[in-house]
Structure 1
Amino acid sequence: MTSLFRDELHKDFGGWPIAYIPYGGADFGEIRAVAEAIGDGDDAAFYGAWIDAGNRLSAEAEAALAKDHRVSARESYLRAGVFYAASFHPLFGAPVDPRLLSAFRKQVEAFDRGLAIGPHPVRPLSIPFATTPMPGYFIPAEGFENEVRPLIILNNGYDATIIDTYFASAVAASRRGYHTLLFDGPGQGGMLCENGVPLRHDWEVVIKAVVDFAETLPLVDAKRIALYGWSLGGHLAPRGASGEPRIAALIADPGTWSIADGFRDVIMRMFGVSAESAADLGLLDQPLLDKIDAAIRGNRQLYWKIVQRGFWVHGVDNLRAFFASAELFTMKGHAEFIRCPTLMTQAENDILSASAGAFFDALTCPKTLMRFTAAEGADGHCEMQNRSLLNRRVLDWLDEQFDVHD
């Protein structure tokens, strides 16, 4: 994402906080200082540099709070949460690395401390779900903290945390007069790290539980509930909306038809596999599967995405089981049930948004396709290097759907 970090995998994760600069999550100099501390270091150095920076910010927050500088304390705690959250992505995988769990808990603690400070403190919530409640937060609209307002449910993706979603979307939405509800679903954040609950394909079950909970909140306008998913949430949120008629507007950043299709295209191209043979990746011949597995394990980034992240999040321990699970994550047979106005994003150089156009064409609801370009500096995954542009355009669209005026 940025040349600040020398290792390719570190580039993928180290640049995330750049997107949060407009919303108080970091400053460029802090990120650069972390990158310089890492230098040519390995994943342990990456982890240590972010943790050190988070510890420094936490100490600053505590010192400020001791002198009753509550604004500074709140800001520093929240920034500390961002830095802790950035530290542990390269450590993904099962069994869970103790350093990952420690950093995850540090980010939650710092985030909770920051949100609890101020005239309108925010406390963690527990959303009833099966046998394991989902953690969440209700972030009130700025200036409308005690008023009934439209709600945006923010749906995370494969590997971000609630803190990422807060700075990527919730702060901008709150400034625009929207209440937001953040949550970790199965396979995400606390549900995965603390409870070992894997991802599930029937996300409509998850969203029903979240909307049920949202309707119990006295400040929520139940007629104006939007569902907004980013990254893998661009698949999960549409899947959820397909089975939840109470969703009044849907945003998918980017729209993602299927998890398996991206792998399918690569396998067909790299290994000369026919479309018929690759129709169900969970049924690939074992010799071919062994070749694919070897190729994945020989590529650092693919190994992280599939073996470290994919196996862990999906709750599997081998490639065949992962592919079989990935095949279940599809909008086939579900897209036509989305009835609410829907916005899909498509960034110019984001390979994960390649299916957004075809997904958009398959929709039968009122729909808008919003493209972002390299000329705007918003061509990467989830427009992370110009997230403020994304937020302005998306929230303008939502204002129009919900008749919200500045």
Structure 2
Amino acid sequence: MAGLFQDDLHNDFGSWPLAYIPFGGADFGEIQAVATAVADGDNDAFYSAWVAAGDRLTGEADASLSRGHSGSARSLYLRASAFYASSFHPLYGAPVDARIPAVYSKQIATFEKGLLLGPHPATPIAIPFGDTTLPGYFIPAEGFESEIRPLVILNGGYDSTVTDLYFLSAVAASRRGYHTLLFDGPGQGAMLYERGVPLRPDWEVVIRAIVDFVETLPIVDASRIALYGASLGGYLAPRGASGEARIAALIADPGTWGIADGFRPIAMRMFNLKAQDVADMGKLDSALIAKMEAFIRGNAQLNWKVVQRGFWTHGVDNLKDFLASAELFTMSGRAERIACPTLIAMAENDTLAAGATAFYEALTCPKTLIRFTAVEGADGHCEMRNRSIFNLRAFDWLDEKFAV
């Protein structure tokens, strides 16, 4: 399917805000205008076009606020944050491009300005985590801002930010009467961009700290805490729930068994290997890894996913160490520990959802598998071209589990 952006990698990221249209994060014409401005330009052009659009929206928000139109200013600031958030992903990698923390600062500033406006402001929170804190946001349920309500913890993946989570599902959850909590864990958002903290596989440690924190919030029903993970969050959230019994419901979109599993078929095809030969990708022969790395670096999208994003996020600088790290991110020996009702989402043409059925079958808890299809326009990764239908079905399921 032809995309708005001429470059495939640009289209991967530039199409994200399409998912946010029903939730106030963008409008189609604005995204199309950015694509036109980028044209056949490089990553610098992509970055500049999104930032220019974000700056324009921020200027409009400032002007609206100065005239007393706080509702319009709120919408414009939040929209600007989504545009800033769309600008920097092609620049990923170590050493860190200085433009990433710079524009991320703009993104968070406008996001927080937007959240602070309105009759029931949402403010930043700091979640105690070891000798530091995790940055996050508590978004109250619409119409129930000061009432005790169930909570949905929204868990991002490799490269989503709190702004993305807000428009992906927080707005929809709030409209349905759920309080929501957004956060950056190790290897995500501010933890990576500003503090250089890499991703970690034992996500149950992260979720335990978050649940400890939310149990102190007087308007959270601690008996009805749901955990939802998007993209790599489809691994992180289940891993978290496998070690945290206070999670009362789990949603994984898509259900993801582990990171290394995606590389095993590639190695088997490339080198005519058997399954037992790739049981531990970090122990592959160095010559084979060198050939695999050359293949990855020769494909712009794979190079971004593995070299630019993967190396940086995992805190490594070579493919062998990345694959060894990836092997630690697995639900093997953990899936059977999940006790709460679990929803596994599986989009038809999402390559990262290839193992969702097997994951579902391995679960021993009460479970539901929901498929999303091309006929519905919801077949891509995280149903990004039809987030409305995902949120409707996911929160219908959660309503039933929590008797909302």
TM superposition score category, shorter chain reference: over 0.9
Aligned to 2:267: 267
Question: What CA deviation, in whole Å up to 9, does each residue of 1:268-299 have, x standing for no partner?
Answer: 11221222221111111011111001111111
Q: What amino acid maps onto 1:365 in structure 2?
A: C
Partner of 2:106 in structure 1?
106
Give the conservation status (yes or no) of the 8 Å contact 1:112–1:123: yes
Runs of 4+ with deviation above 6 angstroms: none
Counterpart mapping for 1:42-57 below 5 A: 42-57=42-57
Give 3-state SS (helix, strand or coil) of 2:86's partner.
Answer: helix
List alignment gaps of at least 5 residues for structure 2. Answer: none
Deviation at 1:2, TM superposition (A): 5.8
Could you tell me which residue of structure 2 aligns to residue 390 of structure 1? 390
Residue of structure 2 in register with 1:318 after alignment: 318
Matched, 1:381 2:384: no
**Counterparts of 2:147 and 2:265 in 1: how far apart (Å)?**
49
> What is the aligned-residue identity percentage?
69
Gaps of 5+ in 1: none
1:14 aligns with 2:8: no
Deviations 1:219-244 (A, max 9, x none): 10000000000000000000000000
Report how far residue 267 of structure 1 moved: 1.2
Residue 265 of structure 1, CA deviation: 1.2
Structure 2 partner of 1:361: 361
Give the equivalent residue in structure 1 for 2:337.
337
**Residues 18 and 27 in structure 1, CA contact (< 8 A), matched pair in contact too:** yes
Letter in 2 for 1:4: L
For the 8 Å contact 1:55–1:80, the answer to whether it is kept is yes
Correspondences of 1:288-303 after superposition (within 5 Å): 288-303=288-303
SS in 2 for 1:385: coil
Q: What's the counterpart of residue 400 of structure 2?
A: 400
| Contact persistence 1:349–1:379 (CA under 8 A) | yes
Quote the residue 1:62 is aligned against.
62
- In the TM superposition, residue 3 of structure 1 has moved relative to its aligned partner by 1.1
Shift of 1:264: 0.9
Aligned to 1:349: 349
Per-residue deviation at 1:184?
0.3
Task: Tell me the matched-pair count.
Answer: 404
Distance 2:244 2:381 in 1: 27
C-alpha distance in 2 between matches for 1:149 and 1:74? 24
TM-score by length of 2: 0.99
After superposition, the Cα gap between the structure-2 partners of 1:30 and 1:2, relative to the gap in structure 1 and judged at 3 Å, is farther
Aligned to 2:176: 176
* 2:258 corresponds to: 258
Letter in 1 for 2:141: A
Instruction: Report the Cα distance in structure 2 between the residues aligned to 1:148 and 1:387, rounded to whole angstroms.
Output: 27
- CA separation in 2, counterparts of 1:192 and 1:381? 23
Aligned to 1:307, what secondary structure does the other structure show? helix
Q: 2:142 matched to which residue of 1?
A: 142
Superposed CA RMSD in Å reads: 0.7
Equivalent-residue separation in structure 2 for 1:259 and 1:213 (angstroms): 28
CA distance in 1 between partners of 2:364 and 2:52 (Å)? 50
Q: How many angstroms apart in 2 are the aligned matches of 1:202 and 1:208?
A: 11
Cα pair 1:2 1:15 within 8 Å, conserved: no
Report SS of the residue matched to 1:87: coil
